[in-house]
Structure 1
């Protein structure tokens, strides 16, 4: 039975903090769905927690709460001294119900006043903005003090010179967010949700705004990098104010000092930690840090922080395949795709407890990794990942799906490197992901250069140059980075490691279930919808069992299941979008997940011995298609379907197909697709355009087990598995006969494509090679459960073999004229 969760079952009561900004005329909007935390949000407790866990000071003030708000016109002057008529609850984006506005405007004004505490006199006053989407300008007392571009990174401004000597200080913020009207990095946001994979955008202030007093000389950022082999923590204290000051760094295990070092500010210090306790998902130990800035013997600033000691890398398993490793040991990265959207707060979680909840569920479900999908979270999200013990693959938010033009490429690059700088010290982040499925990608070579620049900026982590390099808008594999990442729905992907890169399944799964009264649009979709929770659970367990097989046979060392929660129209979560209903039997989920982490250790099982197959040049089935569907070798005569007929062939007659539903059915599964096999046919295409056309395939439950085909996307011949293609180098000509042969070699983990007897492509393609019980067919394929990719042309001389033909044998077959 599905259990609906309440707030009391999930979180402790929110801490209430007084706020002078509370106003009785504000009220929360009405989202299509509420979460267990929606009712806990009010102007008196809008995300009251300290927002910067890795650089803490005791004295600060939260500026979240009720602000004045209005829409703005282009080039409008700031409303200095003028009351704005609407109210907005900061830091919830204006489109969200929690903001109280629940609408979109391209441009907007925020206004409030604040008082500077008397005991801050003589200090510099810093204003901190966690994030404003997308372009921002800031005025204090009518003086413009800052401009900033970028919706996912924070910015600080020293406003001391703009302050009045006493009394209320006026703060005004202008924000412009054109979302998908431009090529700004937006991730999954769209101005209007498409009810599919893109969601309602979030504009304006969407992370905490706060202020703190500092001395003229102060620490502005800490960068910490563990060096586990040398039992050292590298620490760099970036400062403002006079140069040449000293820094002292002390590490604590609880209250016990375990290391201390001193050196100059803005230089890298090496803090020795003897026999360090390592951080891992099973034991997420963190050292506390105290960092003091010293000017001629006097402490002028002191901050608290923390760091974990861990090492990320690649390592060969016993099977010789390269895999991802943590602390010198292979560790399978078992992840979900975590979008980070909320029905009440959109980009912003309603409370800190809600933010933590999503990560806690990963642990509950047996995952050790989170792929933070084309979004950047507030610092407290990474703090909880550090504390709870979850590795994080951090995506760079994508632009729109088509190629970015200049100058947006330069802007995107700037935001990418700023994201890395702001998050380099979070222990949990182990992988940087610049591109997703080629969205915004403009050039394959430059994608490789981007990956190289990320690796140079942070050599302590792995780089996944483009997650889903086989998919969608990708320009193809640049060969760069430390990870080769394929997507496969329903999957899993069966990518094989290379000599220098580990292999992962960057996205798979997507099994869904509709839960009445818990759907954002009242309906939705998934890659495959199931009728009930029991079926959904069974499908998940079976799919994850194949993840383990892919790890053992093919060598993937990470997988990403789509997804943690439903999001708007996507119904493929472990939870509904409102986080109220778990959709699977979590005990079964945890059991199979634990098996993957425990057993995908690099020992490998390899592919089973396929045996020698049947000797001979003709194969186990041969269809001359010379006026009949007779099987000249075996006992499975074929039938012509949907009005297909005979025409002049390459030799004698062949079968002419119209590309609109006609095909040839052999009536049985003629190939054991768990072993080696070869399929060959003579084909003549009537057209070579963007439509896929398949010559020979064998039906699976959902997709064909293989496709010997013309790939319309690439406009070339191919031997394919879903998401993997061995492609011919050139486009074929319409009206010309070609012999096209596809070979599956299980032991080598390869697909081979031959055209006119010549080997033209080899693709590394380990596969689980699931037994296919569907019929072998000529002239069409099956994908997504549907008959697709019908041949528009003529096919002749179809051979099927239960072994992988050699180069010489394929050449001989071509020369034989059969």
Structure 2
């Protein structure tokens, strides 16, 4: 049985570019690259399962799924939800690979159990974090190797973090689910002792990069080489950690997103390439004594859209890397300098594109369903939040963490404050926005913790003010919509306010942003977030239709008012 694209309400300009033999072929981890790797994306065998079903070793499964698109998506070829499922394929290890073979998963929603040649390689719980297993001991000497993955995803039937996924979308602000493998699966060849992760903290003031090299063997010596193009900036040796000199650093900013290349070589021979940007985030009083955000010591207004990362053909997974980059490129075209990644995470390449394009990122933690989760779900939520922060804290573009949105899944005000403090301790170099939109009914209110006072108002804007320890942002506003026949998920769409045509929608956007400018100047805001970059399912309040085929506003007028806000509030 061959894979076929399933029917769906909409396609994108990239749908037909997806290759069943080589989908998403790009290296999936741009901050830790080795030359010897093998992409396992492509057509796998698939079947629905039951909770206690035995693993189907050696069996041909009846359906075909295109990995890494979630099974609810048209691109997967399945286009339905299953609570339990099996994936199966075979692969061959390339000739000449080194001592160890690692198997990597970008993300699997939600609970995964992985088998290689009938041996359990490991398990992982959580739909948004990456995970890896050393499968060397399970490999056969040669020939085909069998890979079987069992997945459980009961979505909002449980208290697991789901973001906006729902088993039954509500034709409102909650959408189609994204179950199973939804990011790249790949193999990598490594020596016995190898680098597992790099933590990078730039300090432009000191002219250094604080580098921590995590290795499979503790206390492993390394050499780090910083390059500016073909020129060596510095060479530094260390064990575990080192401060790498970056004299006369070229600073990273939205206007000039300069990135240095980094190479790390272990004494045992493992060699990886990476990169980083030299930039600093801060909070300083302005001339009126109001706390405001600074980038590299200068005031910068964080002008953002709400970016939910949904696709009509791939749901959680962009059809191609070009598509993944497209939404970020449109932010630059529209004159924004920031993106709020809304209660979802993205593959590493998305943050890589943000780094290279010069876009700052507010990163949300995906919420549970609405309500107050029980104790076990609370602990799991916190574990997944720590996983996300730990895995993503070296991206140059991420400016802040948002643990809670509008009180969704929040369980106590004291714990919200504690969690904000713990995230700040885990990553003291960034802002923590403890509760975006704590003025909404599901929230317990203001914890007083974190670095940000954040209110929502539709169509708004919201009017928060900084206090003695926190900057203020309008965390969500706008949401003005317009239907475009032939480019909607459903037969109709909704928004907080509707406009009849492009001129009217553009006029209302400009008016709304002029109101933002007035509030920003009067209150000393440090940022604002407009909803949203694209339509999503029933929501038709994007700059672009859900299929990314139609621009719904005059982008030149949008850019003009956005640039005015950044200029006058800087």
TM-score with structure 1 setting the length: 0.69
Q: What do residues 194-214 of structure 1 show as CA deviations (whole Å, max 9, x unaligned)?
A: 110000000000000000110
| 1:224-235 correspondence runs (5 A) | 224-235=200-211
- 1:437-480 superposed Cα distances (whole Å, 9 cap, x missing partner): 01000000110000000000000000000000111311010100
Aligned with 1:282 (options 214, 231, 255): 255
**Cα distance, 1:54 vs structure 2:** 0.0
Structure 2 counterpart of 1:210: 186
Partner residue in 2 for 1:575: 544
Q: Measure, in 1, the Cα distance between the counterparts of 2:123 and 2:512.
A: 49
Q: Which residue of 2 aligns with 1:339?
A: 308
Q: Distance in 2 between matches of 1:76 and 1:29?
A: 27
**Secondary structure at the residue paired with 1:407?**
helix
Map of 1:283-298 to 2, 5 A cutoff?
Answer: 283-295=256-268
**1:342 shift after superposition:** 0.1
Name the residue aligned to 1:388: 357
Deviation per CA, 1:3-54, whole angstroms, max 9, x where unpaired? xxxxxxxxxxxxxxxxxxxx7x221011101000001112122100000000
Aligned to 1:222: 198
> Match for residue 317 of structure 1?
286
Q: Is 1:427 the counterpart of 2:396 in the alignment?
A: yes
Q: Which residue of 2 aligns with 1:735?
A: none
Deviations 1:509-530 (A, max 9, x none): 0000000011101111000011
Partner of 2:411: 442
**Hey, what's the Cα distance between the residues in 2 that align with 1:514 and 1:317?**
42
Question: Post-superposition shift, 1:309?
Answer: 0.4
Alignment partners' CA distance in 2, 1:216 and 1:340: 38
1:356 aligns with 2:325: yes
- Match in the other structure for 2:503: 534
CA distance in 2, matches of 1:252, 1:363: 27
Are 1:195 and 2:195 counterparts?
no
Corresponding position of 1:518: 487
Mapped pair 1:40 → 2:9: no
Report the structure number with the largest CA radius of gyration.
1
SS of alignment partner, residue 48 of structure 1: coil
Q: Distance in 2 between matches of 1:244 and 1:435?
A: 37
Aligned to 2:65: 88
1:548 & 1:244 partners in 2: Cα distance? 52
Partner of 1:559: 528
Unaligned runs of 5+ in 1: 1-22, 602-818
From 225, 235, 245, the counterpart of 1:250: 225
Corresponding residue number in structure 2 for 1:674: none
Task: Name the structure 1 match of 2:519.
Answer: 550
**Matching of residue 304 in structure 1 with residue 273 in structure 2:** yes
Where does residue 90 of structure 2 map in the other structure?
Answer: 113
Q: Residue 8 of structure 2: which of 17, 31, 37 is its match?
A: 31
Matched, 1:70 2:43: no
Listed one character per residue, the Cα deviations across residues 247-269 of structure 1 (whole Å, up to 9, x for unaligned) are 111111101111221110xx331
Alignment correspondent of 1:706: none
Normalising to structure 2: TM-score of the pair? Answer: 0.99
Q: Quick one: distance in 1 between partners of 2:315 and 2:90?
A: 26
Partner of 2:373: 404
Deviation at 1:374, TM superposition (A): 0.4
Q: Hey, what does 1:589 align to over in structure 2?
A: 558
Paired residues for 1:409-488 under 5 Å: 409-488=378-457
Name 2:103's counterpart in structure 1: 127
Alpha-carbon distance in 1 for matches of 2:470, 2:204: 22
Residue aligned with 2:375, SS: coil
**Offset at residue 110 of structure 1 (A):** 0.2
Spell out the pairing of 1:173-192 with structure 2 (5 A cutoff). 173-192=149-168
Q: Measure, in 2, the Cα distance between the counterparts of 1:245 and 1:517.
A: 58
Residue-by-residue CA offset, 1:83-132 (whole Å, 9 max, x unaligned): 00100000000000000110111000000000011211x52010000000
Once the two structures are superposed, the pairs formed by residues 606-621 of structure 1 within 5 Å of their partners are none
Q: Partners in 2 of 1:451 and 1:240 — Cα distance?
A: 31
CA deviation after TM superposition for structure 1 residue 316, in Å: 1.2
Give, in whole Å, the separation in 1 of the partners of 2:474 and 2:100.
49
1:97 aligned to 2:97? no
SS at match of 1:314: strand
What is the CA-CA distance between 1:317 and the residue it aligns to?
1.2
2: CA distance, partners of 1:302 / 1:557: 41
Instruction: State the partner residue of 1:675.
Output: none
CA shift for structure 1 position 555? 1.1
Residue 491 of structure 1, CA deviation? 0.6
Segments of 5+ residues of structure 2 without an aligned counterpart are: none
Compute the RMSD of aligned alpha carbons.
0.8
Q: What is the count of residue pairs matched by the alignment?
A: 570
Equivalent position of 1:168 in the other structure: 144
SS at match of 2:33: coil
Higher relative CO (Cα under 8 Å, sequence separation at least 6) belongs to 2
Alignment correspondent of 1:55: 32
Which residue matches 1:781? none
Point out 4+ residue stretches in structure 1 off by more than 6 angstroms.
none
Which residue in the other structure is 1:803 paired with? none
Which whole-Å CA distance do the structure 2 matches of 1:287 and 1:238 have between them? Answer: 20
Cα distance in 2 for residues equivalent to 1:221 and 1:505 = 35
